[in-house]
Amino acid sequence: MKMKKIMAAVLAGAMAVSMCGCGDSKAAATTSAAAGSSTAAAASTAAASTAAGEGTSKAIADGVLTVGTNAEFPPFEYVDDNGDPDGFDIALIKAIGEKMGVKVEVQNMEFDSLVSSIGNKIDVAIAGMTITDERKETVDFSDPYYEALQYVIVPSGSAIKSAADLSGKNIGTQLGTTGDLIVQDLASKDSTVTDSPYDTAALAVQDLLNGKIDCVIIDKNPAEVLSAQYTGKLSALDGKAFDFGAEDYAIAMPKGDTALQTQINKALADLKADGTFDALVKQYIEGSDSAAASDSTAASTSAAASTAAETTTAAK
């Protein structure tokens, strides 16, 4: 998908979630991975044989893997032109589901609700989610599939260049993310630092453009996609200059469901071995940060974004 389309989809998604405001937009966001009747047919046989071979996972006993995401995190997940979640993670989990022989249904919800919804509303979550010790108390993770780092989005010409420059700053983050945790930690050590968590990174970026906050700390790839939309106004700074450590994305799943974990890890390994994983990286991730959206789409969608921004304010 082209940059232009990704941004339009992202902003439409931001609006949809803002307007809903409930994190349970099931009907609008549910999509199915069954690409055709051959997939569906393969599904039942494969599910039966895998289950017999490797123990059963209650989560997929019905032949459906219900996946939670937060489609506000391009290029990993965003809402496409048809209103369906798309992006690297969505394509990856659909490919994993196909290998496992189960149907994949994606539900779009708030990032902050994902972990607590695993095992009840959803079976697993894929959302550019970093493995953290705190999350590991509640859920298990698959093998890591992508290495990430927090980046800092600043207005062009900002004096913010390294960790020391964050002192005295009001920093936008996305609620419940590792960026939010990093800034909470900074604020606990330096009372002049303020953490301003927003429901979505796009809303934080709007307030950055409006001058309400000094910078936004979010993961590298979304930082690059979002700042590329405002070339000349915003830049994304490498988190290494801020001493941020590497993070690993993985799929979160119910604690103790080793049958499910084994199947997901096997599918992931197979997709890496057969080249599908690399093809998805090329399709969705590489190139998504280099194209500047300096065309009419950026102008028209930024109007939509500010409307969305008005409906949500920073949590503090």
Binding site for ligand GLN (CB under 6 A): 70, 73, 111, 127-130, 148, 174, 177-178, 219, 247
Tokens in use for 141? 């993770």
Nearer to ligand GLN, 6 or 102 (CB): 6
* Minimum gap (Å) between residue 176 Cβ and ligand GLN: 7
Tell me the C-alpha distance between 279 and 13, whole Å. 25
What letter does residue 118 receive in the DSSP assignment? B
Choice between 87 and 101, CB closer to ligand GLN: 87
- Name residues whose C-beta falls within 8 Å of residue 156's C-beta, 6 or more positions apart in sequence: 232, 233, 234, 235
Nearer to ligand GLN, 60 or 237 (CB): 237
42: number of Cβ within 10 Å: 14
Residue 140 or 219: the one with the smaller Cβ distance to ligand GLN is: 219
Q: Which residue is nearest to ligand GLN (CB)?
A: 177
Residue in 146, 77, 74, 130 with CA at minimum distance from that of residue 107: 77
We find the least distance from the C-beta atom of residue 128 to ligand GLN, in angstroms, to be 4
CA 120, distance to chain mean position in Å, is 20
Nearer to ligand GLN, 101 or 128 (CB): 128
Task: List the one residue out of 160, 164, 163, 182 whose CA is nearest residue 173.
Answer: 182
Contact 13, 81 (CB under 8 A): no
What is the closest distance, in whole angstroms, from the C-beta atom of residue 288 to ligand GLN in the complex? 15
Distance in Å, CB of 74 to ligand GLN, minimum: 10
